[in-house]
């Protein structure tokens, strides 16, 4: 049963990734692209967690936490670049 | 090893140790400096004197230390007759030169430097004549080239000095390169690089098919060093050196190194037809050519230089004859030439010093003004001319005797005739030196009124001419020394008897002919000189300069074609070459059939591929808009990280995502100051060509990966997996590889990273101080910007995250040895945590709360890693061997401590320091561009909320 749920979830996040990709490619605003990229990071984190559940190991969970911790920093940097130009003032 | 060997090693080392002293002692005055330069030379000479009786009895003193036994290189020295002769010459003349230079150098010349170079040269030269290992000999050989470069260019303000030094280095250095090849071949033939072994296996060498290449290469080295035709041209240009240098290097010692080498290698190489025709012919040509040119030189030193070339040719020719009698004559002439030529150079130096010119046409009549100098110069020059009762006569007679029965391609008269011609010109230029400098009426147009110099200056040449006369009148004085040196050259015991009168021999007639002809030539010198000046003749320096310019042009052309400062060109060449090599390997066969089945593609992995491909294609499409390209690049980074996780490499995934984040921040920082659009620069045709290259290379790499994945290949992964715990004490193989198995690589890499960080800092410093800085200050960044510079929400969030992130960093660091993590990732994680503070509250605010300098952090990191590695030496293990053990600290459970963790700490600190320093450097640009600085952590102060607004309503 859990396998079915995992496959379904993976499928959903996979489709999510494709939509993110579409938004990054098309835009139209820079903010759209950044937001899509950020969502993409979150989708990848979700996929890593799901993959860990499937394999029954905790290592992937940790990896996902770390990706989460540093993944958003580039989003912040992109946003600051748009808003202020210089990311470290 | 007995006492003798110890002394031998000390003799070889003394000049090098002594070279450290003059530079300091010059502060105590010029006399002290000269004295302290003389001390090591005198000491070495005394020790040589102690060893001399043993050597004269025919013993060979040896000393040996292994240096790099794997390469056959050992620091081994030996002293036989030939070595004794040369070592005595080098030290003895060295001592005289030190005395002479004390008086010759003026107060403006940096004397300490001069003496340091001189002792360095002396050490290098001694090393050549004492080496018992040809690789060691090569080291000293190159050292003489380098130290003579310094000495020739000693008067740095003179362009002739610099050019002469460069030419000497170029010629002798390239000859040295050829010699390295020859020596390696020789060592290969014999199977040993020890000179004693090589000298003992002459037959083996001469019968080898590699004999000729080895001979030619070694002779190239010897000929360039000893200024043999056609490499003779550098020696006259080296005369731009101060006269003591010319007297020491270019008459007595360095130029004799080539002759020494030929003498040393005589038992191993001489005696074949090739040897005779190459060495004797080159020597003969050089002897005649040098003598002819010398007659028409007006500069005293140039005259002496070409005369030296001629005499070196004579020595080379004698060695080329390959008979033992010729070897005796060569050894004897080495001694004689040393005595009269060094004296002559010093005389020329005195004349130059006193009259302020060395142009023969402006001199004359000096005999009355400086009688002592004139006497010394005349005796030495008569010896050079080969007049009886002076030592030059004896060895020249022996040379003519040898020449008189030498056949050159079955021709009995060509060698004797040319040898006589050389001797004839030699008489002519020697007499010209005497009569045109010292003879004739006193003139009144000298640039400076000449008179005899102080005693110290003429003491050295006076001593030498005493030897000239002593040996000339009583040749048996030199019997023993010549015998023992010639025996060492020939490799068999010789007992020559030197005497003045040999009876009526062909050589006597040749001598008379030479003297008579020489006098006639001098008498008709004036018309001859006019003809010579009018005649066209090749100017060696112009040819050399042209050749050098051609060479520089060719190398510049190659550089321009392969690397014209355009990275596209460079990358294209690199890629195409790699693909071509790969294709050659592919078609070369040896590819086995695929042994693995194709695996199914899970849909998610397929999706990853789609994302990667679309991402890559989008970068190509969007690359003009730099910001957009950066966003799209992030997709690729993300997907690669996800791929690493999927392929069970969480370490790599962590590193990848951290590096990705830091890189994005660096690029964004830089992007702020550069145009946001890429200019259109490339033509369509070039774009298509580049596209083809890129596609081919990409396909090639893909094919390579595919080929490997379809086959079972033996990799070293198995070894690492098996030995990770046993050898490095860690379960995380990746980390153990980084800090233990490949610790040396990691050590190098963190040093490179640290250097990169420092260089970015330094470049930025220079950039901001230059025109770019002024331009920056005038930039106008007025754009429609958000006015919230430091948003409250971000400041609070980053503050809250800071301790968590640091904790995670420490955690990753500590467990790195056994689970995913390690110093590198930990460094990046903490760097990101710190960077977020910089982003949130601004540079100045954060920097003022930062206590540790990032430069220092890099330094500490490298030092800690290095000390950890060096620590294993204390335990008697090789560098970076790790140790580990388990310990128990009461509240904590059993805990593993490994030295690798300490090394990892070094990695951590370097990474953290380097990353922070790079961002620090880049963000300094903004402050330079006139950005204001905030003192508060955020723009909006929540405390304002409760206060009534100024002038506003409640």
Chain A segment 16-35 residues within 8 A of B by beta carbon are: 17-18, 21, 24-25, 30, 33-34
Where residue B952 falls among pLDDT bands split at 50, 70, 90? very low
B836 CB neighbours in chain A (<8 A) are 73, 76
How many whole angstroms separate alpha carbon B653 and alpha carbon B639? Answer: 10
Where residue B2 falls among pLDDT bands split at 50, 70, 90? low
The proportion of chain B whose per-residue pLDDT surpasses 70, expressed as a percent, equals 95
CA proximity to B254, closest of B127, B339, B381, B158 = B127
Instruction: Say yes or no to pLDDT of B362 above 60.
Output: yes
Residue written as tokens 């409760």?
B946
B88-102, B184-198, B674-688: least confidently modelled range: B674-688
- pLDDT of A34 reads 92
- pLDDT of B951 reads 47
- pLDDT of B784 reads 65
What digits encode the pLDDT tens for the residues B645-673?
Answer: 888 888 888 888 888 888 888 888 888 87
- pLDDT of B120 reads 92
For B401, the 3-state DSSP assignment is: helix
How many whole angstroms separate alpha carbon B86 and alpha carbon B256? Answer: 9
CA proximity to B582, closest of B709, B701, B706 = B701
Where residue B1 falls among pLDDT bands split at 50, 70, 90? very low
Instruction: Say yes or no to pLDDT of B776 above 80.
Output: no
> Is A89 close to B789, i.e. CB distance below 8 A?
yes
Instruction: Say yes or no to pLDDT of B35 above 80.
Output: yes
CA quadruple A40, A41, A47, A50: dihedral sign: negative
Where residue B931 falls among pLDDT bands split at 50, 70, 90? low
How many whole angstroms separate alpha carbon B44 and alpha carbon B89? Answer: 12
Distance from CA of B739 to the nearest CA of A (A): 22
Instruction: Say yes or no to pLDDT of B941 above 80.
Output: no
Where residue B182 falls among pLDDT bands split at 50, 70, 90? very high
Put simply, whether A58 touches B (Cβ < 8 Å) is: no
A76 CB neighbours in chain B (<8 A) are 794, 836, 839
> Is A85 close to B781, i.e. CB distance below 8 A?
yes
> From the CB of residue B848, how many other CB atoms can be counted at a distance below 10 Å?
10
> Is A44 close to B657, i.e. CB distance below 8 A?
no
Optimal mutation site among A8, A34, A35, A88, interface B, most CBs of chain B within 10 A: A88
From A37, A47, A66, residue closest to B654, measured CB to CB:
A66
> Is B842 close to A89, i.e. CB distance below 8 A?
yes
CB contact at 8 A, B914 and B907: no
Instruction: Say yes or no to pLDDT of B943 above 70.
Output: no
Optimal mutation site among A26, A38, A68, A89, interface B, most CBs of chain B within 10 A: A89
CA B325 to chain centre: 41
In this prediction, residues B723-733 reach a mean pLDDT of 75
Higher pLDDT, residue B363 or B381: B381
CA proximity to B145, closest of B119, B127, B171, B163 = B171
Where residue B91 falls among pLDDT bands split at 50, 70, 90? very high
Where residue B503 falls among pLDDT bands split at 50, 70, 90? confident
- Please name the helix (run of DSSP H) or strand (run of DSSP E) that holds residue B564, with its range, or none: none
- The DSSP symbol for B716 reads T
Higher pLDDT, residue B594 or B578: B578
CB contact at 8 A, A78 and A85: no
A75-89, B501-515, B838-852, B922-936: least confidently modelled range: B922-936
- pLDDT of B658 reads 86
Instruction: Say yes or no to pLDDT of B31 above 80.
Output: yes
- pLDDT of B780 reads 63
Where residue B3 falls among pLDDT bands split at 50, 70, 90? low
How many whole angstroms separate alpha carbon B588 and alpha carbon B579? Answer: 14
How many whole angstroms separate alpha carbon B164 and alpha carbon B236? Answer: 9
From A21, A34, A67, residue closest to B611, measured CB to CB:
A21
Tokens of B907: 């990695």
Where residue B781 falls among pLDDT bands split at 50, 70, 90? low
How many whole angstroms separate alpha carbon B475 and alpha carbon B391? Answer: 8
Domains in chain A: ranges and CATH: 2-84 (1.10.287)
Query: Considering the entire predicted model, what is its pTM?
Result: 0.70
Where residue B893 falls among pLDDT bands split at 50, 70, 90? low
Domain ranges of chain B: 741-778+788-941
How many whole angstroms separate alpha carbon B336 and alpha carbon B332? Answer: 6
A24 CB neighbours in chain B (<8 A) are 618, 631-632, 635
A37 CB neighbours in chain B (<8 A) are 631, 634-635, 638
Pairing of strands B61-68, B894-898: unpaired
What is B511-535 written as a DSSP string?
A: HHHHHHHHHHHHHTHHHHHHHHHHS
Optimal mutation site among A65, A74, A80, interface B, most CBs of chain B within 10 A: A74
Instruction: Say yes or no to pLDDT of B949 above 90.
Output: no
> Is B820 close to A62, i.e. CB distance below 8 A?
yes
In this prediction, residues B718-734 reach a mean pLDDT of 77
In this prediction, residues B151-157 reach a mean pLDDT of 87
From B618, B657, B664, residue closest to A77, measured CB to CB:
B664
> From the CB of residue B576, how many other CB atoms can be counted at a distance below 10 Å?
14
> Is A71 close to B657, i.e. CB distance below 8 A?
yes
Distance from CA of A5 to the nearest CA of B (A): 15
Q: How many inter-chain contacts (A to B, CB under 8 Å) are there?
A: 141
What is B156-222 written as a DSSP string?
A: TT-HHHHHHHHHHHHHHHHHHHHHHHHHHHHHHHHT--BHHHHHHTHHHHHHSTTHHHHHHHHHHHH
What residue of A is the nearest CA neighbor of B831? A70
What digits encode the pLDDT tens for the residues A16-25?
Answer: 999 999 999 8
- pLDDT of B589 reads 74
From A24, A76, A85, residue closest to B635, measured CB to CB:
A24
- Give the burial class of B102: count Cβ atoms within 10 A of its Cβ; 0-12 exposed, 13-18 middle, 19 or more buried: buried
Q: Mean pLDDT, chain B, as a whole number? A: 85
| B186 contacts: CB under 8 Å, gap ≥ 6 | B134, B198, B205, B214, B218, B268
Tokens of B408: 């050159």
What digits encode the pLDDT tens for the residues B50-87?
Answer: 888 888 888 888 888 888 888 888 888 988 889 999 99
What digits encode the pLDDT tens for the residues B877-891?
Answer: 777 677 776 767 676
In this prediction, residues B18-46 reach a mean pLDDT of 87
From A51, A62, A76, residue closest to B839, measured CB to CB:
A76
Instruction: Say yes or no to pLDDT of B445 above 50.
Output: yes
Distance from CA of A20 to the nearest CA of B (A): 10
CB contact at 8 A, B392 and B310: no
Where residue B783 falls among pLDDT bands split at 50, 70, 90? low
Distance from CA of A12 to the nearest CA of B (A): 11
Instruction: Say yes or no to pLDDT of B251 above 70.
Output: yes
> Is A73 close to B789, i.e. CB distance below 8 A?
no
A81-85, B89-93, B95-99, B305-309: least confidently modelled range: A81-85
> Is B650 close to A59, i.e. CB distance below 8 A?
yes
Distance from CA of B802 to the nearest CA of A (A): 11
In three-state form (DSSP H/G/I as H, E/B as E, the rest C), the secondary structure along B116-168 is HHHHHHHHHHHHHHHECEHHHHHHHHHHHHHHHHHHHCCCCCCHHHHHHHHHH
B631 CB neighbours in chain A (<8 A) are 24, 30, 33-34, 37, 78
- pLDDT of B945 reads 59
Where residue B282 falls among pLDDT bands split at 50, 70, 90? very high
Instruction: Say yes or no to pLDDT of B755 above 80.
Output: yes
Instruction: Name the H helices within B248-323.
Output: 254-264, 266-269, 273-275, 281-295, 300-321
Instruction: Say yes or no to pLDDT of B620 above 70.
Output: yes
B636 CB neighbours in chain A (<8 A) are none
């Amino acid at each position: 049963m859990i396998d079915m749920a995992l496959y379904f979830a993976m499928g959903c996040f996979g489709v999510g990734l494709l939509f993110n990709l579409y938004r990054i490619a098309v835009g139209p605003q820079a903010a759209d692209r950044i937001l899509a990229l950020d969502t993409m990071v979150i989708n990848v984190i979700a996929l890593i967690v799901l993959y860990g559940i499937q394999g029954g190991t905790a290592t992937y969970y940790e990896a996902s936490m770390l990706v989460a911790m540093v993944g958003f920093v580039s989003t912040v940097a992109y946003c600051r670049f748009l808003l202020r130009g210089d990311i470290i003032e | 090893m007995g006492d003798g060997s110890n002394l031998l090693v000390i003799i070889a080392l003394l000049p090098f140790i002594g070279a450290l002293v003059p530079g300091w002692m010059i502060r105590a005055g010029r006399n002290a400096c000269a004295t302290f330069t003389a001390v090591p030379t005198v000491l070495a000479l005394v020790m040589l004197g102690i060893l001399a009786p043993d050597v004269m009895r025919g013993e060979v003193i040896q000393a040996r230390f292994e240096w790099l036994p794997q390469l056959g290189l050992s620091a081994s020295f030996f002293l036989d007759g030939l070595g004794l002769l040369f070592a005595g010459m080098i030290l003895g003349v060295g001592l005289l030169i030190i005395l002479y230079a004390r008086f010759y150098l003026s107060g403006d010349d940096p004397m300490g430097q001069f003496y340091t170079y001189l002792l360095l040269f002396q050490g290098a030269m001694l090393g050549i004549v004492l080496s018992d290992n040809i690789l060691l000999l090569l080291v000293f050989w190159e050292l003489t080239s380098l130290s003579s470069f310094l000495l020739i260019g000693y008067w740095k303000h003179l362009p002739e000095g610099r050019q002469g030094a460069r030419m000497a280095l170029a010629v002798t250095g390239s000859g040295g390169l050829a010699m390295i090849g020859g020596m390696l071949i020789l060592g290969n033939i014999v199977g040993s690089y020890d000179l004693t072994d090589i000298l003992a296996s002459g037959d083996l060498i001469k019968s080898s098919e590699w004999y000729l290449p080895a001979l030619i290469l070694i002779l190239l080295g010897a000929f360039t060093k000893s200024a043999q035709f056609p490499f003779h041209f550098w020696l006259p240009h080296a005369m731009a050196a101060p006269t003591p240098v010319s007297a020491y290097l270019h008459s007595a010692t360095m130029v004799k190194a080539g002759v020494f080498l030929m003498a040393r290698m005589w038992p191993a190489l001489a005696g074949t037809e090739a040897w005779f025709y190459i060495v004797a012919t080159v020597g003969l040509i050089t002897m005649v050519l040098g003598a002819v040119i010398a007659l028409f030189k007006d500069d005293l030193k140039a005259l002496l230089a070409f005369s030296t070339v001629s005499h070196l040719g004579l020595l080379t020719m004698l060695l080329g004859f390959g008979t033992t009698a010729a070897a005796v004559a060569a050894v004897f002439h080495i001694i004689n030439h040393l005595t009269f030529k060094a004296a002559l150079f010093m005389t020329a130096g005195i004349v130059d010093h006193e009259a302020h010119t060395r142009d023969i046409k402006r001199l004359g009549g000096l005999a009355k003004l400086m009688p002592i100098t004139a006497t010394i110069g005349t005796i030495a020059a008569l010896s050079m001319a080969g007049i009886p009762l002076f030592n030059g006569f004896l060895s020249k007679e022996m040379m003519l005797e040898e020449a008189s029965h030498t056949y050159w391609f079955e021709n009995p008269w060509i060698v004797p005739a040319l040898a006589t011609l050389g001797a004839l010109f030699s008489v002519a230029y020697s007499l010209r030196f005497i009569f045109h400098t010292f003879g004739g009426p006193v003139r009144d147009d000298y640039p400076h009124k000449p008179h005899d110099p102080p005693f110290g200056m003429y003491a050295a040449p006076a001593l030498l001419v005493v030897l000239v006369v002593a040996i000339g009148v009583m040749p048996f004085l030199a019997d023993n020394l010549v015998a023992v040196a010639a025996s060492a050259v020939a490799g068999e015991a010789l007992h020559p008897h030197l005497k003045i009168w040999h009876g009526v021999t062909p050589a006597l007639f040749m001598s008379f002919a030479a003297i008579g002809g020489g006098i006639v030539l001098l008498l008709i010198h004036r018309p001859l000189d006019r003809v010579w000046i009018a005649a066209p003749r090749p100017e060696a320096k112009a040819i050399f300069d042209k050749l050098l310019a051609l060479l520089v042009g060719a190398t510049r052309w190659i550089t321009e074609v392969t690397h014209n400062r355009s990275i596209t060109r460079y990358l294209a060449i690199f890629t195409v070459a790699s693909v071509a090599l790969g294709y050659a390997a592919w078609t070369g066969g040896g590819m086995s059939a695929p042994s693995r089945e194709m695996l199914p593609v899970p849909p998610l992995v397929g999706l990853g591929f789609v994302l990667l491909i679309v991402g890559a294609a989008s970068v190509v499409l969007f690359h003009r808009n730099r910001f957009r390209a950066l966003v799209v690049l992030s997709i690729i980074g993300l997907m690669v990280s996800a791929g690493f996780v999927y392929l069970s490499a969480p370490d790599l995934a962590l590193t990848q995502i951290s590096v990705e984040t830091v890189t994005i921040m660096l690029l964004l920082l830089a992007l702020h100051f550069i145009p946001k659009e890429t200019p259109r620069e490339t033509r369509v045709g070039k774009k298509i060509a580049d596209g083809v290259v890129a596609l081919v290379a990409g396909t090639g790499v893909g094919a390579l990966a595919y080929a490997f994945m379809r086959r079972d290949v033996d990799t070293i992964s198995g070894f690492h997996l098996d030995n990770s715990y046993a050898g490095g004490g860690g379960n995380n193989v990746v980390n153990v590889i980084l800090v233990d198995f490949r610790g040396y690589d990691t050590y190098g890499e963190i040093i490179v990273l640290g250097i990169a960080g420092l260089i970015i800092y330094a470049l930025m410093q220079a950039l901001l101080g230059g025109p770019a800085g002024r331009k920056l200050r005038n930039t106008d960044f007025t754009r429609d910007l958000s006015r919230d510079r430091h948003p409250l929400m971000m400041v609070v969030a980053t503050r809250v995250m800071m301790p968590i992130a640091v904790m995670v960093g420490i955690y990753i660091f500590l467990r790195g040895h056994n689970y995913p993590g390690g110093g590198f990732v930990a460094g990046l994680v903490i760097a990101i945590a710190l960077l977020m503070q910089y982003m949130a509250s601004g540079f100045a605010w954060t920097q003022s709360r930062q206590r540790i300098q990032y430069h220092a952090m890099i330094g500490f990191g490298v030092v800690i890693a290095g000390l950890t590695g060096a620590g294993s030496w204390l335990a008697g293990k090789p560098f970076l061997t790790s140790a580990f053990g388990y310990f128990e600290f009461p509240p904590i459970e059993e805990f593993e401590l490994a030295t690798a963790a300490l090394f990892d700490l070094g990695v951590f600190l370097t990474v953290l320091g380097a990353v922070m320093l790079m961002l620090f450097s880049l963000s300094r640009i903004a402050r330079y561009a006139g950005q204001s600085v905030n003192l508060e952590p955020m723009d909006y102060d929540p405390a304002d909320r409760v206060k009534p607004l100024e002038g506003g309503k409640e």
